[in-house]
C-alpha cells in the first residue's frame, strides 16, 4: 500500500477541508506514525489492505470454496467485548453525563488519553477513514472521520459504513464531522479507555481492537455521540432494529424495536414467517438490525434510517433454525471474529448445527470442549447488509421509512408477559425507561443478572438518562403522529425452567397483533400495566401451548407487578430532580391501580 504524505493530502483536498487537515496533522504530530494513508474505500485499496493483513496474520483466509472472500480474525483473549467500566462521557458538568455514565472532566479526559496516544503509532500506518452514517444523500445522515492504526478496523468500517471518497465529498460540502481517534495501543487492559466528548463531537479510544470499542462509527458515534446530537437537533438516536412487515394485501408497516445486545435483534430483523404465513403472502424486510435514527417528518410521523451499512452480529446461536437469512449472508465476503474453524477451514460456532465439527477454537488452539467453547460467546461476523436475502431497498431511502410501532423488550424469565401495549406515549416512555433484562456476553461482567436497561441504551446513552427521558416525552407535542409503543418478552420460562414461547419465526404472530392494534382491528384486555392480548387475539394456529404457558404468556400477575413498580419507582428516584415529573406521576398512577 502506498503511503500518502500529509502535505500531499492537504494540498490535494482543497481549502474546504482545512479543519480536517489540521486535525489530521495534529494527531500525526501526537502519535508519530511512519506513514499516513487516507482511505478512499476503493476495491483496490481494500485488496491491498487485506493482503497486508493476511501477510502479517491479522486475517486468516477461510475456505474459498465454501466461503469465498471471507476471513477469520482472532483478537487478544483479553479484548473480546465492550468495556463499559472503562467507557467515559466527558461533559463540562458532571450532571449532564448523569449517573448512567462514568464521567470525567473534559480536560482530564483529553490529558489522560493524549498521554496514551503520545508516540503510539511509531512504526505503524495511520489510517484516515472518512465515513457517513446513513445513506450519503440523506438529510438524516451524519458524517465522521476515524483515525486509526488498525487495518482490521478499516476493513470493518468499510463494511459497516459508507466509507471513503463519497463520505469525504459530503464532509467537504458540509464542513462538519465527528472526530474519532483510535489506537490499539499495547492491548493492555490496564491501558484501555473509551472516552466521549459529546460537546466537542469527539471520541478517543485506546487499547482495544474489539468492534464496539474500536469501530468508532458504531456505538461510539451512532449512539453515544449521536444521542447528544439528536437531543440538540430534535431527533432520536436509538439502539433499535428496523423491519418492514408486509401483509398479503401488499401494505407495509415499519417497526422499530429496542433489545439489549444478544437478545435477538438480528433474529427479529431478519425473521422468516412461519410456513402458513409465507403461503398467505406475509413478508419481512430488513432495514437494520441494531441502530435507528428517527425524526418527525412533515406529516408528523417518525421517519427512520439505519445509519449502518452492514451487520456486526453475534455468531453463536446463528443457525438455519434461528436465522436462516443471517446464515445466508455469511456465505461470502464476511469477516468472522473469534469463531472456531473446522479441519477444512470453515467458520464454526456453537449452535451452527451444520453437521460439521470444529478443529480449532477461537484462540487458535486445538478444540477441546472441556477447556473452552470453539467460538467465544461474543464472537462476531461483519458483513454487508445488502447480502441479506431480506434486505429492504428502503434502507437506502434518503427520507427514511415511517414507523408504525416501537417495541421494547429484554430477557425476563418471569413476571413479564409475551406482549403488552402502552396506554399512550407517556406510558410508553415509562415502559422503555423501566425496561429490565438479564445481562449477556456482549459486555464484560457476570451473565444472567437482571438490570434496568432503559430503551436498551444503558451502555450507549451519551448524556443523563433523566434528560433523555424528557427528550422522548417532548415528541408528544400535539403536532406529531406518534407510533404506538409495545413491550415484548420472548424469554419467559416455565416453572421447570424451559422457554414457553417458540420464538424465531413465530414472533411474527405478535407483530401481526401489534399492527392490528395500530389499525384498530385487534382485541386486547386493559390491565394496569397496559393492553394485553388474550390467547384468542393472536393467531396461534400450529402452536402448542400448555395451560401454564397460556397463563403466563398472556396473564397478569398483580402481586409481582406491585413489587416491580415499587422497584421502578426506586430506580427513577436514582436520577434525582432531573427526572421528569410526568414519568414519576405515571409510575405512581400505575402503582396506585396495582394496589386496588
**DSSP code for 537:** T
d(CA 286, CA 151): 29
Exposure class string for 543-564: b at 16+ Cβ within 10 A, else e = eebeeebeebbbebbeeebeeb
Cell 492504526 sits on residue: 149
Q: What pLDDT was estimated at residue 5?
A: 41
Kindly state the cell numbers that stand for 433: 425507561
Query: Does 140 share its domain with 35?
Result: yes
Residue 154 placed within a domain:
yes
H/E run at residue 494:
none
* Residue 40 marked in a binding site: no
Q: Is residue 23 part of a domain?
A: yes
What residue spans of 57-135 are helical by DSSP H? Answer: 94-97, 106-117
523 is in an annotated binding site: no
Domain-located, residue 575? yes
CATH of the domain at 123: 3.40.449.10
**What one-character-per-residue DSSP string does 184-240 give?**
-TT--GGG-EEEEEGGGTEEEEES--SHHHH-TIIIIIIIIIHHHHHHHHT-EEES-
266 assigned ligand-binding residue: yes
Residue 421 parent element (H or E) = strand 419-421
Task: Give pLDDT, residue 263.
Answer: 86
Lookup: cell for 480: 406529531
Pair 218, 245 in one domain: no
Pair 242, 230 in one domain: no
371 is in an annotated binding site: no
**Does residue 220 carry a catalytic annotation?**
no
Report yes or no on 336 lying in a domain.
no
505 labelled as ligand-binding?
yes
Read off the C-alpha cell for 470.
424528557
At CB < 8 A and 24+ separation, what contacts does 173-178 make?
173/16, 174/143, 175/16, 175/19, 176/143, 177/20, 177/130, 177/143, 177/144, 177/145, 177/201, 178/142, 178/143, 178/144, 178/145, 178/202, 178/203, 178/221, 178/225
Task: Tell me: is residue 50 an annotated ligand-binding position.
Answer: no
550 is in an annotated binding site: no
In a domain, 364, yes or no: no
Q: Is 313 annotated as a binding residue?
A: no
Task: Output the pLDDT for position 442.
Answer: 60
Phi first, then psi, for residue 296 (nearest 5°) are -65, 135
Domain contains 189: yes
Range of the domain at 405: 238-259+271-276+401-595
* Predicted local distance difference test score (pLDDT) of residue 443: 62
Q: Domain holding 580: CATH number?
A: 3.90.228.20
At 1 the pLDDT is 40
Take residue 146 and report the three cell numbers written for it: 476515524
Cα gap 20→42, rounded to integer Å: 21
Q: Is 264 annotated as a binding residue?
A: yes
Q: Are residues 164 and 246 in the same domain?
A: no
- Residue 320 annotated as binding site: no
218 and 248 share one domain: no
Can you tell me the distance from the alpha carbon of 408 to that of 430, in angstroms, rounded to the nearest whole number? Answer: 11
Place of cell 412461519: 274
Grid cell, residue 412, equals: 425476563
Residues 202, 253 within the same domain: no
Q: Do 138 and 243 fall within a single domain?
A: no
The answer on whether 375 is annotated among ligand-binding residues is no
Rounded Cα–Cα distance for residues 268 and 253 (Å): 15
471 in a labelled binding site: no
Residue tagged active-site, from 39, 90, 220, 263: 263
Contact 198, 228 (CB under 8 A): yes
Length of the chain: 596
Rounded distance, CA 550 to CA 556, Å?
A: 11
484 near 512, Cβ under 8 Å?
A: no
Taking 3-state DSSP, the helix, strand and coil percentages for the chain, each rounded to the nearest 5, stand at 35, 25, 45
Same domain, yes or no: 185 and 249: no
Same domain, 464 and 476: yes
What was the pLDDT predicted at 445?
Answer: 67
Q: How many domains does the chain have?
A: 2
pLDDT for 368 equals: 98
Residues 251 and 114 in one domain: no
Q: Answer yes or no: is 325 within a domain.
A: no
d(CA 6, CA 38): 9
Q: Same structural domain for residues 112 and 131? A: yes
Burial pattern 227-236, b for ≥16 Cβ within 10 A else e, equals bbbbbeeebb
* Same domain flag for 45 and 160: yes
372 labelled ligand-binding: no
Judge whether 267 is annotated as a binding position.
yes
- Could you say which DSSP state residue 386 is in? G
In a domain, 405, yes or no: yes
pLDDT tens digits, the chain, 596 residues: what are they? 434 344 334 333 556 799 999 999 999 999 999 999 999 999 999 999 999 999 999 999 999 999 999 999 999 999 998 898 999 999 999 999 999 999 999 999 999 999 999 999 999 999 999 999 999 999 999 999 999 999 999 999 999 999 999 999 999 999 999 999 999 999 999 999 999 999 999 999 999 999 999 999 999 999 999 999 999 999 999 999 999 999 999 999 999 999 987 788 999 999 999 999 999 999 999 999 999 999 999 999 999 999 999 999 999 999 998 899 999 999 999 999 999 999 999 999 999 989 999 999 999 999 999 999 999 999 999 999 999 999 999 999 999 999 999 999 999 999 999 999 999 999 999 999 999 988 766 666 667 778 899 999 999 999 999 999 999 999 999 999 999 999 999 999 999 999 999 999 999 999 999 999 999 999 999 999 999 999 999 999 999 999 999 999 999 999 999 999 999 999 999 999 999 999 999 999 999 999 98
Amino acid at each position: 500500500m502506498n503511503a500518502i504524505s500529509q502535505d500531499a493530502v492537504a494540498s490535494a483536498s482543497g481549502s474546504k477541508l482545512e479543519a480536517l487537515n489540521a486535525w489530521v496533522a495534529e494527531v500525526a504530530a501526537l502519535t508519530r506514525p511512519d506513514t499516513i494513508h487516507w482511505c478512499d474505500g476503493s476495491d483496490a485499496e481494500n485488496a491491498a489492505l487485506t493482503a497486508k493483513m493476511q501477510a502479517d496474520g491479522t486475517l486468516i483466509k477461510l475456505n474459498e470454496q465454501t466461503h469465498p472472500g471471507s476471513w477469520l480474525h482472532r483478537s487478544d483473549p483479553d479484548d473480546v467485548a465492550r468495556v463499559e467500566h472503562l467507557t467515559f462521557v466527558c461533559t463540562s458538568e458532571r450532571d449532564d453525563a448523569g449517573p448512567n455514565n462514568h464521567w470525567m472532566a473534559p480536560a482530564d479526559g483529553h490529558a489522560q488519553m493524549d498521554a496514551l496516544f503520545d508516540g503510539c503509532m511509531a512504526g505503524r500506518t495511520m489510517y484516515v477513514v472518512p465515513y457517513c452514517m446513513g445513506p450519503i444523500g440523506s438529510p438524516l445522515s451524519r458524517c465522521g472521520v476515524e483515525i486509526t492504526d488498525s487495518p482490521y478496523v478499516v476493513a470493518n468500517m468499510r463494511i459497516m459504513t459508507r466509507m471513503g471518497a463519497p463520505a469525504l465529498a459530503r464532509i467537504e460540502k458540509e464542513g462538519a464531522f465527528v472526530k474519532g481517534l483510535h489506537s490499539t495501543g499495547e492491548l493492555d487492559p490496564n491501558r484501555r479507555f473509551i472516552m466521549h466528548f459529546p460537546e466537542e463531537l469527539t471520541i478517543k479510544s485506546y487499547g482495544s481492537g474489539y468492534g464496539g470499542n474500536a469501530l468508532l462509527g458504531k456505538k461510539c458515534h451512532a449512539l453515544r455521540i449521536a444521542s447528544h446530537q439528536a437531543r440538540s437537533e430534535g431527533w432520536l438516536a436509538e439502539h433499535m432494529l428496523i423491519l418492514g412487515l408486509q401483509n398479503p394485501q401488499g401494505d407495509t408497516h415499519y417497526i422499530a424495536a429496542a433489545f439489549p445486545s444478544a437478545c435477538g435483534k438480528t433474529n427479529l430483523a431478519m425473521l422468516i414467517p412461519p410456513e402458513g404465513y409465507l403461503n398467505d403472502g406475509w413478508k419481512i424486510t430488513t432495514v437494520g438490525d441494531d441502530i435507528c435514527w428517527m425524526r418527525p417528518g412533515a406529516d408528523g410521523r417518525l421517519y427512520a434510517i439505519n445509519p449502518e451499512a452492514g451487520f456486526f452480529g453475534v455468531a453463536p446461536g446463528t443457525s438455519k433454525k434461528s436465522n436462516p437469512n443471517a446464515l445466508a449472508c455469511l456465505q461470502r465476503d464476511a469477516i468472522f471474529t473469534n469463531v472456531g474453524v473446522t479441519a477444512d477451514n470453515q467458520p464454526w460456532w456453537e449452535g451452527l448445527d451444520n453437521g460439521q465439527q470444529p478443529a480449532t477454537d477461537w484462540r487458535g488452539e486445538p478444540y477441546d470442549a472441556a477447556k473452552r467453547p470453539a467460538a467465544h460467546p461474543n464472537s462476531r461476523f461483519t458483513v454487508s447488509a445488502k447480502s441479506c436475502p431480506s434486505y429492504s431497498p428502503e434502507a437506502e431511502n434518503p427520507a427514511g421509512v415511517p414507523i408504525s410501532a416501537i417495541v421494547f423488550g429484554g430477557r425476563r424469565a418471569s413476571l413479564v408477559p409475551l406482549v403488552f401495549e402502552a396506554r399512550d406515549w407517556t406510558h410508553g416512555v415509562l415502559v422503555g425507561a423501566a425496561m429490565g433484562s438479564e445481562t449477556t456476553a456482549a459486555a464484560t461482567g457476570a451473565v444472567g443478572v437482571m438490570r434496568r436497561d432503559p430503551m436498551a441504551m444503558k451502555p450507549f446513552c451519551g448524556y443523563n438518562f433523566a434528560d433523555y427521558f424528557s427528550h422522548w416525552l417532548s415528541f408528544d407535542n400535539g403536532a406529531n403522529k406518534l407510533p404506538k409503543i409495545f413491550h415484548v418478552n420472548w424469554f419467559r420460562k416455565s416453572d421447570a425452567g424451559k422457554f414457553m414461547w417458540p420464538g424465531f419465526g413465530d414472533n411474527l404472530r405478535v407483530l401481526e397483533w401489534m399492527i392490528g392494534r395500530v389499525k384498530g382491528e385487534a382485541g386486547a384486555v386493559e390491565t394496569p400495566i397496559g393492553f394485553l392480548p388474550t390467547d384468542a387475539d393472536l393467531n396461534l394456529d400450529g402452536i402448542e401451548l400448555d395451560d401454564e404457558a397460556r397463563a403466563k404468556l398472556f396473564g397478569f400477575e398483580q402481586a409481582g407487578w406491585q413489587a416491580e413498580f415499587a422497584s421502578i419507582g426506586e430506580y427513577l428516584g436514582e436520577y434525582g430532580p432531573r427526572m421528569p415529573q410526568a414519568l414519576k406521576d405515571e409510575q405512581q398512577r400505575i402503582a396506585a391501580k396495582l394496589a386496588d
